[in-house]
Structure 1
Amino acid sequence: MTSPLALTMGDPAGIGPEITVGAWRALRETGPAFVFLGDASCLPDDAPVEIVEDVSGAAACFSRAIPVLQSQLSAPVLPGSPDEANAPAVIDSIARAVGLARAGAVGGVVTNPISKAVLRKAGFPHPGHTEFLGELCGVPGREVMMLASPMLRVVPVTVHVSLREALDTLTGEAIEAAARVTTAALRRDFGLPNPRLAIAGLNPHAGESGLMGREEIEMIAPAIARLKAEGVDVFGPVPPDTMFTPAARARYDAALCMYHDQALIPLKTLDMENGVNVTLGLPIVRTSPDHGTAFDIAGKGVAQADSLIAALRLAGTLAHNRASSIQERPE
């Protein structure tokens, strides 16, 4: 990559500042380079920092210091004690990063963890990063969340809603839309020419032929049939309790799951350290670490940067693949 990645500030009272430094130390010699969008004062005091006027100076100084596009926080930062007064700066960091990516100034966006509860108190209307990014990119409702690691890729069809709401809003059309976006992203961004999708059932034993629920018969199987008719390599509905064994995972490139925990529990159990949140369906590349703000350990020097490092590396790979895909398109 020639363009750096934009790394957002996240909640400055969480572990974002610590893992930012940890990621820089791990990547300073190999890349991908990134520029931190936030207040340099929230970074640990022993971290070398270089304020840059624009992203063009980030790559040149990355090996010796963390490049920072400076912005000012409204309140002092106390690790572990978030302050909603800093919410506007947190939100602005995300918006600036997306703007830079859409303008082509950075290769992609990597987001440090935010506190949804803190932002909500400040009037933030979105359930999380994913939905906000869809709006910023002008594709609201088309964004799809993937959790990816070297061991497993999962996509929940319904995301940041209660389980009751997930059951009430799940539709065949939503399943089909998520499958199409996932297939396209696996081809373009992950470099898989013939991606295979496994579709999870909703009920125990995938409904057991209707004995434990009819959603598989009436909703999921018809959606799978329509996808197959379009040429999507997809199979299911697969019983959720057996689709994440090593033998089962070898049969697909991504698992499409019906609700949040059905997807995230196996990913985080198998490989949380290397798990990366990827937003599909956007005109930009976006990844994030697969964990939250961890206020309980912030500032204690024990936070591990592994997931952020994985997110930065994957963002670099996806940006490269996407650029190559665009260049290879026929006129």
Structure 2
Amino acid sequence: MNTTSSRPLLLTMGDACGIGPEIAVAAWAADRGADLRLVGDAGVFRRALGFMGLDLPVAVLDQCDDVAPPDCLPVWQPSGLPTDLLDQPLGQVSAQAGAAAARCIIAAVHEQQSGRSRALVTAPIHKEALHAGGIDHPGHTELLQALCGDAQGRLPPVRMMLANDELRVVLVTIHVALRQAVDLITTGRVLQTLRITDEALRRAGVAAPRIGVAGLNPHAGEGGLFGDEEIHHIAPAIEQARSLGIDARGPIAPDTVFMRARHAPPAHPGEFDAVVAMTHDQGLIPVKYLGVEQGVNVTLGLPLVRTSPDHGTAFDIAGSGRADPASMAAAIRMARTMSA
């Protein structure tokens, strides 16, 4: 088996009708790391090179860990991709594009599980296209979780972390309605999130992680005046986490915890290494406000490393050559750090 240093990072194509192929080829062209391989349709990647003004040959690899000639875009094209992807209109939902995106993810996960790659970086997919393509999962996170289930069908507990150079946020609940999310905020789920967060930060090189925990309600409930989830669920989870040696603090008013955690030296060193937020929008709005161009989506709790850019398929600019590969480049850097 290849060593960790020689096993490649796999960059999946994403939705062929969006900007995923464009940011993938642009990030590769700027990086040109010997450890990078693109996973997807060679024709789609050739088209993306043209959109981005890049004059590079494409080397189609037989195996994902094969080595391409110098200055050739290294593409591993898994079997089972639709043959008519170039016929699908850019910027529109396509069942073929959704099926192809899923096929690339499934193939890349299999390569990582088989030890032929060391990390997975995924370009954006479109949830509606994924569903139209026959995939009964709402997004990347849930599909990856299903692919990593054990022989008994048990799924690993996973959490979404969104991170940039100034702030890391981990979510207790993700893609559910807000009314449902409140019911999912239990002591067990918050504690599990804290354990997953602490473990992930330690793997990323943070020796003694400091985790700030956001409350759910205004002013973190104000002692039960504005809701009692903090009293009955969040505070007990923090107490149990601290008994396990996890430096978790809170619950802290959600309108201040992100400011306290923001790491912007020298004037403002962050008080926390990560914030655990209760709901999707509560946690992602502050990170995205700091700039999606450097944001990275990381799936924690999987038995593999997966990162992704912090933006969607951007159908409105697909094919225009205006896609910014900065977030993809940041996702590549984080995947390298987490899989070193």
TM-score normalised by L of structure 2: 0.89
What is the alpha-carbon distance in structure 2 between the residues aligned to residue 122 and residue 247 of structure 1? 40
- Matching residue of 1:10: 14
SS at match of 2:291: helix
Distance 1:70 1:265, change over 3 A: same
Q: 2:181 aligns with which of 157, 166, 178?
A: 166
Q: How far does residue 74 in structure 1 lie from its aligned partner after superposition?
A: 3.6
Which portions of structure 1, spanning 4 or more consecutive aligned residues, are displaced by more than 3 angstroms? 246-249
What is the alpha-carbon distance in structure 1 between the residues aligned to residue 44 and residue 261 of structure 2? 45
- Matching residue of 2:43: 41
Whether the 8 Å CA contact 1:137–1:282 is kept in 2: the answer is yes
- Unaligned 5+ residue runs, structure 2? 264-269
- Unaligned 5+ residue runs, structure 1? 321-331
Whether the 8 Å CA contact 2:99–2:135 is kept in 1: the answer is no
- Deviation track 1:56-103 (CA, whole Å, cap 9, x = no partner) reads 323x53x50211112443432332123112332221100110011111
Query: Does the alignment pair 1:140 with 2:155?
Result: yes
What is the alpha-carbon distance in structure 2 between the residues aligned to residue 195 and residue 281 of structure 1? 16
Distance 1:21 1:248, change over 3 A: closer
SS at match of 1:303: coil
SS at match of 2:65: helix
Q: How far does residue 247 in structure 1 lie from its aligned partner after superposition?
A: 6.5
- Matching residue of 1:307: 327
What is the alpha-carbon distance in structure 2 between the residues aligned to residue 92 and residue 247 of structure 1? 38
SS at match of 2:66: helix
- Matching residue of 1:51: 60
Counterparts of 1:158-197 in structure 2, within 5 Å, are 158-188=173-203, 190-197=204-211
Query: Does the alignment pair 1:121 with 2:132?
Result: yes
Whether the 8 Å CA contact 1:51–1:67 is kept in 2: the answer is yes
- Matching residue of 1:323: none
- Deviation track 1:266-319 (CA, whole Å, cap 9, x = no partner) reads 111113211101111111110000100000110111110000010011101111
- Matching residue of 2:311: 291
- Matching residue of 1:277: 297
Counterparts of 1:75-224 in structure 2, within 5 Å, are 75=84, 76-138=87-149, 140-188=155-203, 190-224=204-238
- Matching residue of 1:68: 75
Moved more, 31-40 or 290-299: 31-40
Whether the 8 Å CA contact 2:99–2:134 is kept in 1: the answer is no
Distance 1:81 1:132, change over 3 A: same
Q: How far does residue 248 in structure 1 lie from its aligned partner after superposition?
A: 6.2
The code of the aligned residue for 2:306 comes to R
Moved more, 248-257 or 226-235: 248-257
Whether the 8 Å CA contact 1:27–1:33 is kept in 2: the answer is no
Whether the 8 Å CA contact 2:11–2:123 is kept in 1: the answer is yes
What is the alpha-carbon distance in structure 2 between the residues aligned to residue 83 and residue 143 of structure 1? 28
SS at match of 2:255: coil
The code of the aligned residue for 1:254 comes to A
Q: How far does residue 160 in structure 1 lie from its aligned partner after superposition?
A: 0.7
The code of the aligned residue for 1:51 comes to V
Whether the 8 Å CA contact 2:12–2:122 is kept in 1: the answer is yes
Whether the 8 Å CA contact 1:242–1:248 is kept in 2: the answer is no
Whether the 8 Å CA contact 1:55–1:69 is kept in 2: the answer is yes
Moved more, 161-170 or 108-117: 161-170
What is the alpha-carbon distance in structure 2 between the residues aligned to residue 83 and residue 254 of structure 1? 37
- Deviation track 1:79-132 (CA, whole Å, cap 9, x = no partner) reads 212311233222110011001111111110011100011111233111211111
Whether the 8 Å CA contact 2:93–2:128 is kept in 1: the answer is no
What is the alpha-carbon distance in structure 2 between the residues aligned to residue 248 and residue 208 of structure 1? 24
What is the alpha-carbon distance in structure 2 between the residues aligned to residue 269 and residue 175 of structure 1? 25
- Deviation track 1:173-210 (CA, whole Å, cap 9, x = no partner) reads 1000011011111112x111211111100001111111
Query: Does the alignment pair 1:23 with 2:30?
Result: no
Percent identity over paired residues = 48
TM-score normalised by L of structure 1: 0.91
- Matching residue of 1:329: none
Moved more, 250-259 or 114-123: 114-123
Q: How far does residue 154 in structure 1 lie from its aligned partner after superposition?
A: 0.3
C-alpha RMSD of matched pairs (Å): 1.6
